[in-house]
Structure 1
Amino acid sequence: MIVGQLMGANAVAAIGSTASLVGFILGFAQGMTAGMGLLLANSFGAHNPQQVNRRFSLSAVIALFVAFILMLVGVLLAGEILVLLGTPTTILTAAQTYIQIIFAGIPISMAFNFLSNMLRSIGNSRTPLLFLGISSIANIIFNFIFILVFHWGIAGSALATVAAQFISVALCFWYIYRNVPLLYWHKPLNIKFKEINIQLASGIPMGLQFSIIAIGAILVQRSLNQLGTDAIAAFSVASKIDQVSMLPMSALGTALGTYVAQNAGGQKYQRVLAGIKQTFVLSVLMSIVITLMILLSSRQLTYLFISNPKEMLLSLTQTYFRLVTPWYLLLSGLFILRFTLQGLNYNFLPMLAGVIELLMRALAAIFLVSIWGFVGIALSAPLAWLGGSITLLYRFWKAIRRVQQSIALQERSQGLPDE
């Protein structure tokens, strides 16, 4: 938003052209730490503090190692990948500058994702949200300082993001040190391969799921780059609004996954079912409200990101909103399906759903864009959500049946009549 107001549509397009690549790298980091967080939540729900601390310490070592590998790969190959994606030459240099700084900050970004996911895993979701809010405010302030005062341009925007993330990491460390001895890091001794395998078996599938979905976005980005700077800028603006709009639904899904993992670990299956039902209703209602708000104010939303947009850019963003936002209802259900299964330790199928989402986005990028242009780009997201939901629906139903059977067994063992 700030970049568009201060630097114009080309700067928005430059940053937007990197979004899919950033999502591919950072998505793996975010997904991996979330997966390991669900494993820790299960131990917390089982009231096993020793296992919680050991899993936290092992996860920290793994996350640190992965972060530096991703940083090196991202910084070294960013320019070549942007060229392969067909990034327009008018924005290539700015895009490369931005993405290399973002990738250099991967250890910081992963540290925040890791610590916030660990806090959520032990039932504290409010503190990470507070620190994320502080980080967002800091990001806005840094953007103004780095762009208006220091005149650092695109590099300033990237540095503002990394600096704001560093503040959130520092706050997480401070909070854990003061209040959460359970998450103090201790050097893990006598590490067994089985322990590492358990951590990776929980973290990697979820990381791959995020990255696989992002590969589809990369294919879409390549097709988008062929449509010109206006299309890239319009898609970037619409995607930013998309991301903000999806946050409440995604946050509910993430919270549900942690809640399910905790209660499944403690064998509190009635609470699992109640949490799924309540989250589903809340998420659906939220998706309807968000859809109506965007459709009623789509033109004004574009002006928030670009001070003087061309009529073509306005038309493209409105086309995107009309085609995509009505599908938020389906997306809210997809988050429920995915995170419930992950909370119940079904890791493979959500990853398979990610592959289906990739195939659907690839279909849109290869075929629909050549036929309908920007409309094909917009339809790639709803098609991906539809494919992912269909893939997960049957296994979700089977998982719910198994939870219900566990409830029946508990009632029999306690001498209670079946419902």
Structure 2
Amino acid sequence: MAVTQMTKGSISKQLILFSIPILISNLFQQLYNTVDTAIVGRFVGANALAAVGTCNLVVVFMIYFFIGLSNGSSIVLSQCFGENDEEKVFKTVHTTMGLSFISGIVLMIVGLLSAETILKMINTPDDVIGYAVTYIRVYFLSMIPMMIYNMGTGILRAMGDSKTPLYYLGAAGILNIILDLVFIIVFNMGVMGAALATTLSQTLSAILILIKLISSNEVYKLNISKIRIDKDILKRILVIGVPTGLQSVLICFSNIIVQSKVNLFGLDVMAALTVYYKVEGFIYMPIEALAMAASNFIGQNIGARNVERVKKGKSLSMKICVGMTVLIGGLIMIFKTPILHAFTTDSEVVKYGSQFIMFIVPLYFIYAMNQILSGVLRGAGKTFVPMLIGLVCMCGFRVGWLVVMMGIVKDVRIIYASYPLTWILTNIAMTAYYYKSSWIKKTTLEAVETV
């Protein structure tokens, strides 16, 4: 598929057409992850369901820094492409793929060595930790293919191609579901089967993305023998990617603190949070897709130094994202009971899952606003201040709220409230930073000097 230039033409059309494949991809990924969770919950049990949920948080915590590097390379690449600098595009592609191999190796080693310790640190119950350790040890074997796929996908999306990753994710998702059914139901492998299914499907997606990059005749063509880490490109990736990665890690750290507090309330609340996260994905994923579309759109137009398209792109992205969030959130609240019953027949798990939904989902549009602003700033290469905002609001305040309030009263509603409260604070800070009058002009000038 040819690359897509987003520096001219209809802004709304480009944002929508670019985001739809990402949206479908994210929703499909959420769907097959949901099926994976439902199979575990139905055929292995609540203990295994709670273990998978706890492990997912630990995995996300450990990989998000490297996902931030992937975002950084994608933004650098989109800016180079917007500037029509083919040499820089070539260097960025090959530096990015070099980083993917290094990141995958580091993650696999660190994850295998430290995951069990982290599980114990977050108060994982004794009747859950055995399942969790088994699951996570197999899962971390997929880190190298996971990084190859994520960074390869970032390359394609920076070039305006959001459809190809959808096809590859679809193939991997179908394989994951088939292997789940075979390993868990036929061979009775339990959580190990679920983790092995994920590892093998990740490997398929990595192979497909490598074949695409190597066989392409476009400007982003990959030559394995020429994979090198270019120091100047690496520096630019790190400037953008490290703050983005740290912000994600810090937010995820706060979620792990949330998980540690949830674990104190027992198996039913743990299982309910696991199910809620799967349901939440159907509202979160469209937001992520539009934020990613905004990032790549802004990146290309920053490279082309087109300030007016940057401003219009932000405004249209915000309207589309908030509207979609309100619609999907409303449907989730209306149909919450049958949705939750698809995962479990346990009435207590359904009760707590309903509470999670009704406390958090009504204010999810605020989170949508935060993500669009963050995507726009990330596309412009402005990641340091958003990182500080995330540190103070999404991490510091959330952790402080939980520690102080849970010390006063042990009530699960304290946990529910921690999410919308931190979104509101983040939105105030992020909006204030965005509307500083000089940052867009200054960023455009920096693009001229550095790209």
- TM-score for the superposition, normalised by structure 2: 0.85
- Which residue number in structure 2 is paired with residue 137 of structure 1? 174
Q: Which amino acid aligns with 2:364?
A: Y
| 1:260 lines up with 2:298 in the alignment | yes
Q: 1:400 to 1:287 in 2, by over 3 A?
A: farther
| 1:278 lines up with 2:287 in the alignment | no
2-structure distance, mates of 1:211, 1:83: 19
Give 3-state SS (helix, strand or coil) of 1:325's partner. Answer: helix
Q: Which amino acid aligns with 2:58?
A: L
Write out per-residue CA displacement over residues 278-302 of structure 1, whole angstroms, 9 at most, x where no aligned residue.
1111101101111111110111111
- Which residue number in structure 1 is paired with residue 421 of structure 2? 383
2-structure distance, mates of 1:353, 1:91: 35
2-structure distance, mates of 1:38, 1:334: 19
Contact 2:80 2:86 in 1 (8 A): yes
Contact 1:337 1:393 in 2 (8 A): yes
- Which residue number in structure 2 is paired with residue 239 of structure 1? 277
- Paired residues for 1:15-414 under 5 Å: 15-186=52-223, 193-306=231-344, 308-309=345-346, 311-356=347-392, 357-370=394-407, 371-398=409-436, 402-403=440-441
2-structure distance, mates of 1:113, 1:365: 33
1-structure distance, mates of 2:340, 2:387: 34
Write out per-residue CA displacement over residues 328-368 of structure 1, whole angstroms, 9 at most, x where no aligned residue.
11011011110111111112012112212111221243133
2-structure distance, mates of 1:400, 1:382: 30
Q: Tell me by how many angstroms 1:50 deviates.
A: 1.1
Q: Which runs of 5 or more structure 2 residues have no equivalent in the other structure?
A: 1-37, 446-451
Q: 1:152 to 1:139 in 2, by over 3 A?
A: same
2-structure distance, mates of 1:222, 1:402: 40
Q: Tell me by how many angstroms 1:179 deviates.
A: 3.0
1-structure distance, mates of 2:176, 2:228: 42
Write out per-residue CA displacement over residues 48-73 of structure 1, whole angstroms, 9 at most, x where no aligned residue.
11101101111222232122112111
1-structure distance, mates of 2:444, 2:159: 24
Q: Which amino acid aligns with 2:260?
A: R
Give 3-state SS (helix, strand or coil) of 1:156's partner. Answer: helix
Q: Tell me by how many angstroms 1:19 deviates.
A: 2.5
Q: Which runs of 5 or more structure 1 residues have no equivalent in the other structure?
A: 408-419
1-structure distance, mates of 2:228, 2:318: 43
Contact 2:98 2:229 in 1 (8 A): no
Give 3-state SS (helix, strand or coil) of 2:436's partner. Answer: helix
Q: 1:399 to 1:159 in 2, by over 3 A?
A: farther
Q: Which amino acid aligns with 2:359?
A: L
Q: Tell me by how many angstroms 1:151 deviates.
A: 1.5
Give 3-state SS (helix, strand or coil) of 1:38's partner. Answer: helix
2-structure distance, mates of 1:156, 1:405: 48
Q: Which amino acid aligns with 1:240?
A: K
Stretch of structure 1 that moved more, 85-94 or 203-212:
203-212
Q: Tell me by how many angstroms 1:211 deviates.
A: 0.8
Q: Which amino acid aligns with 2:134?
A: T
2-structure distance, mates of 1:373, 1:189: 53
Q: Tell me by how many angstroms 1:255 deviates.
A: 1.0
Q: 1:270 to 1:155 in 2, by over 3 A?
A: same
Q: Tell me by how many angstroms 1:88 deviates.
A: 0.3
- Which residue number in structure 1 is paired with residue 15 of structure 2? none
Q: 1:180 to 1:172 in 2, by over 3 A?
A: farther
2-structure distance, mates of 1:155, 1:399: 53
Give 3-state SS (helix, strand or coil) of 2:265's partner. Answer: coil
2-structure distance, mates of 1:207, 1:401: 22
- Which residue number in structure 1 is paired with residue 32 of structure 2? none
- TM-score for the superposition, normalised by structure 1: 0.91
Number of residue pairs matched by the alignment: 405
Q: 1:192 to 1:404 in 2, by over 3 A?
A: closer
2-structure distance, mates of 1:298, 1:189: 49
2-structure distance, mates of 1:204, 1:211: 10
Q: 1:400 to 1:332 in 2, by over 3 A?
A: farther
Contact 1:353 1:387 in 2 (8 A): no
Q: 1:191 to 1:295 in 2, by over 3 A?
A: closer
Q: Tell me by how many angstroms 1:405 deviates.
A: 11
Q: 1:189 to 1:21 in 2, by over 3 A?
A: closer
Write out per-residue CA displacement over residues 207-252 of structure 1, whole angstroms, 9 at most, x where no aligned residue.
1111111110111111111111111000110011112320001110
Contact 1:368 1:377 in 2 (8 A): no
2-structure distance, mates of 1:4, 1:14: 10
